[in-house]
Chain A
Amino acid sequence: MTTTTKSVAPASDYKPDDSGRLLEVDNLFVEFHTAEGVAKAINGVSFDLHQGETLAILGESGSGKSVTAQAIMGILDMPPAVIPSGAIRYCGQDLLTMPEDQRRRARGPEISMIFQDALSSLNPTFPVGWQIGEMFRQHRGMNKSDAYAQAVRLMERVAIPGAKDRVKNYPHQFSGGMRQRIMIAMAIALDPAVLIADEPTTALDVTVQAQIMALLAELQEERQMGLILITHDLGVVADVADRASVMYAGRIVAQAGIEDLYARPAHPYTRGLLESIPRLDQKGQTLAAIGGLPPNLTRIPPGCAFNPRCRMAQDICRTDVPELRHVANQDSACHFAEEVLNG
């Protein structure tokens, strides 16, 4: 057993390529086979993530953003989930074809995740320090006391006051914001190269949200992690992301650098969303509402999935699925991307 409490990471088998690319999701499909039919949750999603980069995945409920994250982490329940095709390459190695024990070793030290609801993601019957320490016991073979020492170090890092005294407290003894900090401590415990944050602040109040986002930004800067931020909050994305992918009905419909996405949206859905949210810094604003509802994934409309709600839709939109294509410094999956852009 190691005598030092310092956490020494074993040399990684994984090296990002020369461009610093860590993760590459390539034409991924995910389906859920349910009694009501096949729900096509993800329909050909591709993106990549580089070191030190924050990629936001924006979407409403049912758009497939969380399923994408779960597919990357390898925590989808299969069945009912099925991955008919696609690849998720981490440093060039396909996670989907990798043997399970190898993938398990990567989950934590290489890629880790922060879940939305900290209360239901933490085990209520174990002290938080035990749960954070589990990462070190499982992956580094540490003994109990060393693992606890590591847990204290991490709890201090995520600014939990009185970490030493609270390491043996149970999750219910912490507030929502503190629980989310504990989740973050667990996620960064083994210095992952990729961190996925699935709606990390949705359940929190704004003042606490600001604290958590500031902490995440700081940790990312310090460790040069690639961060995938999954959210529906356009405000949070504008504040922290470098790039964003907008998802609708299991596809990426728009992908752009953050400034282009907000200033020059090239997809009617993105544009509609931006015009439909009230802004704190504007008064007398008219809200333009997108009609209708996001589609049911068991019966996605033919052609462009957004066509029944799109005010620009033409005949071609009802028959042909638009490919994600490059238009003026960004990607848009709209037959009329140029018109949207110049309109």
Chain B
Amino acid sequence: MADVILKADNLYKHYPIKGGVLRTTTGQVKAVDGVSFELQRGETLGIVGESGCGKSTLGRVLMRLEEPTSGTVNFDGVDMYSQSGSAMRKLRRDIQIVFQDPYTSLNPRKTVGDIIGEPFEIHPDVVPKGGRKKGVQELLEMVGLNPEHINRYPHQFSGGQRQRIGIARGIALRPKVLICDEPVSALDVSVQAQVINLMEKLQDELGLSYIFIAHDLSVVRHISDRVGVMYLGRMVELGTEEQIYQRPTHPYTQALLSAVPVPDPLMRGKREQIVLTGDVPSPANPPSGCRFHTRCFKAQDRCKVDDPELIDRPDGVGEHRSACLFAEPRVIVETVDVSDVEVDTRFASTDVVDLDAFAEDDGLLPADAASVAQGSQVVGETEGPLDRPADTNRLIDDEPTEQRDPRV
């Protein structure tokens, strides 16, 4: 077996449902219900599924932001959940997370320098105190932001730029694994590609392994080496990008793939559509047997009783893991290999875009910026390693102002 950096074994995360006057536990929301997989060093594992399938909870459990109900995670030879105190803190250096919403995951009262520099404060031995400002500026440069903007506040940046800040914070401690929870889904289409290209560049440069959680199957296909498909807290299919997208064997994966619209009008009506009926059942009360049987077009009586295991099943060419009793490969998307096709760079760039080439520093929101700056003084944060901002009045982005709400 190749070099495994992270191995999750039978992870469960159940949340109690409290009810009644005595707040007794009346049920369990089975958010993650027996998930096992391994992550190789340097690879990107995509995790896809619809809302409520447990993919974000899985990310949080892997970070140990939530304690699992049961199960183990072996990180680089160490059992993660048995670590305590300083050992866990040390381990956290190696595994970091980038959150979905760049508008709520950055503290509005802290400067970008404080936000990105915070990991250095928590782990003071990583970078000596005098070198922290330089460290932050290097990080800003790596993610394509101007190092001089170190003293600005999050509201002065647009969504795409904020996500770059989140990524800079994530890679500050040079982790081995970065968990990315829907890192591009809140971004505009034209900005998405910038962030995806940046993440690919950083992976090459820093040798990162990614767990890339997303609901967008096209984005996941683009960035992932291997893909896991989740449904109601379970992993229903796991394989390489090619196995999942070209030879899916689980009916849920097949339905999911067939539902994604392809941006090519010539394909209209030519694609096979598997329309699922109904909605995803509640994870508090998942169906018996195979959890997908209530919506499955292949379901038989057996499926209501037998819970299929995620094991290797033949996919026509070889075999890969699938949790369906009647797994059989089916071509849903005809794939075109375009790896040799040159992209016409006259219209857009294939490089990581340097945002400062476009920054026009003529916008003003003095009242807002001043009030935020003041707020941070009043709160009286402990003295950070970085210089206080002198001028926070200038905006560096070009986003419509109505989307900006600095008075959070």
Contact = CB atoms under 8 A, between A and B. Distances in A.
B345 interface: yes
Given A273-B190, A292-B357, A293-B358, A206 B337 contact: no
A288 B343 contact: yes
Contacts of A208: 50, 279
A336 B191 CA distance: 24
Interface string B352-368: 11110110101101000
Interface in A104-118: none
B338 A312 contact: no
Contacts of A294: 188, 190, 398-400
What does DSSP make chain B's interface, helix, strand, loop or mixed?
A: loop
B399 A62 contact: yes
B155 to A, nearest CB: 13
A281 B346 CA distance: 24
A280 B363 contact: no
B349 interface: yes
Contact of A284 (B194, B338, B399): B338
Interface residues of B, number: 79
Contacts of B353: 289-292
Nearest to B333: A281
B259 A210 contact: yes
Given A275-B344, A296-B398, A299-B362, A311 B262 contact: no
A293 B267 contact: no
A106 B309 CA distance: 57
Given A273-B190, A293-B158, A299-B363, A280 B401 contact: no
Contacts of A32: 402
Given A60-B188, A239-B268, A295 B221 contact: no
Interface centre among B158, B197, B218, B276 (most CB of A within 10 A): B218
Interface centre among B192, B219, B275, B279 (most CB of A within 10 A): B279
Contact of A275 (B245, B260, B280, B343): B343
A177 B279 contact: yes
B275 A61 contact: no
Interface stretch (A11-19, A139-147, A188-196, A258-266): A258-266
A276 B344 contact: no
A280 B221 contact: yes
A175 B348 CA distance: 40
A272 B190 contact: yes
A206 B51 CA distance: 10
B280 to A, nearest CB: 8
A283 interface: yes
Interface string A235-249: 111110100000000
A330 interface: no
B264 A288 contact: no
Contacts of B341: 285-286
A209 B241 contact: no
A39 interface: yes
Contact of A279 (B50, B218, B273): B218
B399 A296 contact: yes
B160 interface: yes
A268 B344 CA distance: 11
A327 B330 CA distance: 42
A102 interface: no
Contact of B222 (A272, A285, A289, A301): A285
A34 interface: yes
Contacts of B346: 311-312, 343
A91 interface: no
Contact of A205 (B215, B241, B336, B347): B215
A292 B193 contact: no
Contacts of A282: 335-338
Contact of B348 (A272, A279, A297): A272
A101 B190 CA distance: 42
The 4 nearest A-B residue pairs measured at CB: A284-B339, A292-B358, A235-B261, A278-B222
Interface of A: 32, 34, 36, 39, 60-62, 161, 175, 177-178, 205-211, 213-214, 232-239, 241, 258-259, 261-263, 268, 271-299, 301, 308-309, 311-312, 340, 343
21 contacts: A34-B401, A36-B401, A205-B51, A207-B259, A209-B259, A233-B261, A234-B189, A234-B263, A235-B260, A258-B265, A279-B262, A283-B245, A283-B338, A290-B349, A291-B349, A292-B353, A293-B161, A295-B398, A296-B398, A309-B358, A343-B344
